[in-house]
Each structure stands twice: as structure tokens, then as C-alpha cells.
Structure 1
Amino acid sequence: MITATASFAARTVFRIGYGALQLERLHDRRGEAVALLRRAVELGIDHVDTAEFYGFGFANDVIREALHPEDDVLVVTKVGADPNPGGRLPLRLAQRPEQLRASVEDNLRSLGVDRLAVVNLRRLDTGPGLRPQGDQVVDLDDQLAVMTALRDEGKIGAIGLSSVTLDGLRRALPAGIVCVQNAYSLVSRDDEDMLQLCAAEGIAWVPFFPLGGAFPGLPKATDEPAVHAVAGSLGATPSQVGLAWLLHHAPNVLLIPGTANAAHLEANIAVSEIALDAATLATLDAIESRSNDVPIG
């Protein structure tokens, strides 16, 4: 069996958290969104990933209503992009230091707190998605300077990185990084060296797109015949197998799968009970890793 807990920002947390992006699917059913988050807490989830641009602030509003201090849930947010209502994409890049500071203030306000426990700086240097252009191309050192200043001011408790390269992480280590969020899955393992560096440094590895397939044409763990075969032998779903592989692969991996459905939430949490023996892990490890480093802008 895997270890059910891991260290994150000087705390011990259940290794399966909740990603709040999918809450926006319940935008017109706010009560259901609040109830879903309350159910997550009841089931043992104690860390939640969010951003001001999730649902144009809706996710943060729901978190503010649903979570209470006595729940002791670690809320992790991110900066580097802002909501973009009416735009071609639902977010716009906000990489400049003054924009990072403004985004922290926006998150403080929408979450109704005076300190953000962990803030991820989303660099967008790697993985699928947007790439900075023009005045949004900002040196990492300049960004870390404002992030550490915000931490010194007490507005941030700890700093994480997202969509960062291995060299970028190495440069940032002196700033005291507590987590890295990069696209990573069974079928896209480009960042293996970075994951191992994080494990050696006591940094949580929190993959987004943990099953791959973020955009059309990118590999999906749930498309792999070997994943389906393992799922059938264990009485699990292919998605559960893909997530369970991540938990078995390295002890510093934390998961933040998102959902707008209570049954799916319970299925995600049940992943912590799935045991993969050495032979099964070898079968899954043998699946080809394909790059997901696809810019879209």
C-alpha cells in the first residue's frame, strides 16, 4: 500500500486534494458547488487548489463560503494569469511583477483572508498551453523578488512554481519553493528529472492534467490498453489506475483531481486505497511517454 499522507508547506496532508477548476460547471447551482466542497472535507480532503481566474472568481467565492477555519484546509492559489471575461480564452497572462502583486490582492479579497497559505507562480515556460509574449516575457528573478516580498509582508505563506523548467526550478530553490505544478502523467513523463529533484529537496510534486489529454491530439492515460487491462483486473476505472500510478510512482506526489460530481469525487478519493504490485507497476512503467509540451499561444 502507498503512504496516504505527505508533507506540503510544512504540513502533513492527505495525498489526494481537490482542484477547484471544475466548480465553474456548477455556476448556476451554487448550493451544489458548496455542498460538493463540504463533502470533500467530510471525506478527508485537506488541501484545495484554486485561482482567481477559475470561473471568473466563482471558485474562490465558493471556497470562501464552504470552508471554515476549523476545517483546517490548506488553500493553494496561483498567479500569473487573470480572468478574461469575453476573451478568446477565459484568462489573460499577468506575468509582470505589479500584476503578480495585484493578483495576490485579488485572491486575498475573493477568498476573504489576510494571508494566502501557498501561492503558485505560473511561469508558462513548459507544458501545454499559452506562452508569454511581448511585455509578458519576464525574468524569473524579477518575479521571485515580488513573491518573496509578498511573503515577507505576510500576504503569502509559501511560494510554489507552475509550468516551470528544470533550470528555472534550480534557480528558484534559494527562494524556498514548497511545490511544483507541472503537466505530468503516466503517458507524459518529460519532467522525470524535475520530479526527482523535488523529491530530494522535500518539494511537493502536484501534477496538473494527471491523466494527460489536455488538448486534442495529446496522449491520454485512459486510451492505453495496458491501463484498461490493469483496471479490469483490479475492478477499478482506467482513470483511477492512472491516478494510482502517480501516487505509487513517487512519495512526494500529491493529486488535485477536479470534478463537479459527488460520485466522481468519491471515486477519486478511493484511489488512495488502490494497491499496485511490482509486476503491475512494471507493466504501467513500460507505457511509452510522449511529450505534451505544446504551446497554443
Structure 2
Amino acid sequence: MTSTMFHIGGDLGVQRLGFGAMRLPTEPGPDRQTSLAVARRAVELGVTLIDTAHLYGGGANEELLAEALYPYADGLLITTKVGVARSGPAGEWKLDGRPEVLRDQVDQALRRLRVERLELLQLHRIDPELPLADQLGVLREMQAEGKVGRIGLSEVTVSELDQARKIIDVVSVQNRYNLLDREHEPVLTACEAAGIAFLPWRPVAPATTGATAEIAAVAAELGATHAQVALSWLLDHSPVILPIPGTARIDHLEENFAAAHLHLPPTHLDRLNHLSERA
């Protein structure tokens, strides 16, 4: 039976099927009210891992989650990401791993999320213009200061993960990955070997390839949806995978969460496992 729990860093227990908050509208109005309701419904359904980032509205997404969920339920982990800032020539978003920027974004996240410590903080992207040791060094400093509990990475290669692990204890990796997009399979394998949580972003492949016809067929045979099959496959594929599907609709949220209870028989798994080669 597929385990429903994973302990990030060996001690931070979460339900493996989480929620990505990126798609939640944050502007005032009816859409924001729906966003608040979606976040609250996620927790009601048993979600204990919610992913956000400074990039999502320049912190507006973090503020939304705090408005919806503070004071937080016991065991609820809201993880955020830093390292992208409006520091381009015209104020556009760009990778920015300068230590002072990372420190400022962490302090902002603490204030917006109304917490004294970020139990899991991820570097949104490695800034190629700066030494990796400088970027991870400041995160390690804030960990020592008690502002950060655990540190993860996002969109990294096996080589970058290896380099980072010489500087910090990496407990999570957030890379693009789904049933039809398995470019980062080597990174997943490395995470499995080290017991590192792997949070696939874009966990449900867009229905744009011929291979999706097979997913639709499997879904029809099991009385499920395309998204449920894709998420259930991820949960079955590796015990370190923690999918974080995002949506701004309660019905889609409930549909996604039901994937945790979908059983994929071996024959169906075999059919799905070959799809990335055809995509």
C-alpha cells in the first residue's frame, strides 16, 4: 500500500499530497474571497503541505495564506521560496541570489506569514551569476539564527544538488516533473537515494500530446479523471514524491485530493509508465 505520509528532513511529517498556492488570485474582490475559501478547504480536506513563494505576487500570496489560515492548524506546513526579485533594469523579475536579497525576502516572509520560523525554505532558483556558497551560506546563517528550520532547492540538476549538499543539508527539491515530462528522473533518483523530498511542480501534464489519449482511457476504466490518474501515478512512482497540484477552484481541489485514494492496478501502471517515451 502506498504510504500517505513523508517526513521531510526525517522529522517533519506531512501528507504526501499537498497544495500549490501559486494560482490563487490575491487582488481584492470576489476572486480573492474564493482564494481564501480554497485555502481553507484544502486544510479541511487534510492537506498539511502548502507551497508558496515570494515570486507569487511579491509576497501577496504569502499574505493571502496567512489571512486564510492563521492561526495555523497543528501540523500544517507552509513552505515558501526566495531568490527571485524585481531587480531587473526596468524593475522586472529576475534571479537574484544576493545574500542581502535572500535575507530580506526571508524577513518579509516571516512577517507576512506571521511566524517566527520558516520550517521549510527553498531557494527558488540558483542564481548563476553568484557563487552557490554565497547563496546557500546566508540561508545556513538564518538557519543558525532560528529563522529557518530546513532548507530545500528548486529546479536543480544532479550536479547542483551534489554541490549544494556539500554546503547545507538539503531536505527537499522542487523540480518540474509529471507523467509525461520526466526530464528530471535522475534528480528524483538522487533524492530517493538520499531520502530527500521531491516536490514536482506542474504535476499534472497538460493534455496536449497523443499520449494523453492513453491517460484518458485509463481514467475512464477506473472511473477517475485525467488529473487524478496523473497524481496517483506520482504517488505510486516514488515514496519521496510530494505532489503539490494547484487550483483556484474548490471542485478541482476536491477532485485532486481524491487522487490520494485512487488505486492504480499493475496493468494500468505498466501502461502509464511507458507514456513519457511516446510524449
TM surpasses 0.5: yes
For the pair 1:21 / 2:16, whether they are aligned, the reply is: no
Which residue of the partner structure matches residue 283 of structure 1? Answer: 271
Which residue of the partner structure matches residue 7 of structure 1? Answer: 7
Cα distance, 1:223 vs structure 2: 5.6
Q: Is the 8 A contact 1:7 1:252 kept in 2?
A: no
Q: In the alignment, which of 242, 257, 262 is matched to residue 274 of structure 1?
A: 262
Spell out, residue by residue over 1:188-207, the C-alpha distance to the aligned partner (whole angstroms, 9 max, x if none). Answer: 11221211111121110000
- How many pairs does the alignment contain? 274
Identity %: 40
Q: Output the TM-score relative to the length of structure 1.
A: 0.85
Which residue of the partner structure matches residue 247 of structure 2? Answer: 259
For the pair 1:194 / 2:194, whether they are aligned, the reply is: no
Q: In the alignment, which of 159, 164, 176 is matched to residue 183 of structure 1?
A: 176
2:185, 2:195 → 1: CA distance? 15
For the pair 1:210 / 2:203, whether they are aligned, the reply is: yes
Q: Is the 8 A contact 1:122 1:164 kept in 2?
A: no
Which residue of the partner structure matches residue 250 of structure 1? Answer: 238
Which residue of the partner structure matches residue 82 of structure 1? Answer: 85
Which residue of the partner structure matches residue 212 of structure 2? Answer: 224
2:86, 2:248 → 1: CA distance? 20
Q: 1:241 to 1:24 in 2, by over 3 A?
A: same
Cα distance, 1:28 vs structure 2: 2.4
Which residue of the partner structure matches residue 106 of structure 1? Answer: 108
Q: In the alignment, which of 139, 143, 149 is matched to residue 157 of structure 1?
A: 149
Tell me which amino acid in the other structure corresponds to 2:221. Answer: S
For the pair 1:144 / 2:136, whether they are aligned, the reply is: yes
Cα distance, 1:222 vs structure 2: 8.8
Tell me which amino acid in the other structure corresponds to 2:152. Answer: G
Q: 1:288 to 1:41 in 2, by over 3 A?
A: closer
Cα distance, 1:26 vs structure 2: 6.5
Tell me which amino acid in the other structure corresponds to 2:195. Answer: G
Cα distance, 1:165 vs structure 2: 0.9
Cα distance, 1:211 vs structure 2: 2.2
SS in 2 for 1:117: strand
1:208, 1:110 → 2: CA distance? 23
Tell me which amino acid in the other structure corresponds to 1:203. Answer: I
Q: Is the 8 A contact 2:87 2:96 kept in 1?
A: no
2:216, 2:87 → 1: CA distance? 38
Higher alpha-carbon deviation: 101-110 or 76-85: 76-85
Structure 2 residues not aligned, in runs of 5+? none
Cα distance, 1:45 vs structure 2: 0.5
Higher alpha-carbon deviation: 39-48 or 187-196: 187-196
1:162, 1:112 → 2: CA distance? 24
Cα distance, 1:93 vs structure 2: 2.3
Q: Is the 8 A contact 2:84 2:125 kept in 1?
A: no
Cα distance, 1:253 vs structure 2: 0.5
2:203, 2:215 → 1: CA distance? 14
Q: 1:5 to 1:222 in 2, by over 3 A?
A: farther
Q: 1:159 to 1:220 in 2, by over 3 A?
A: farther
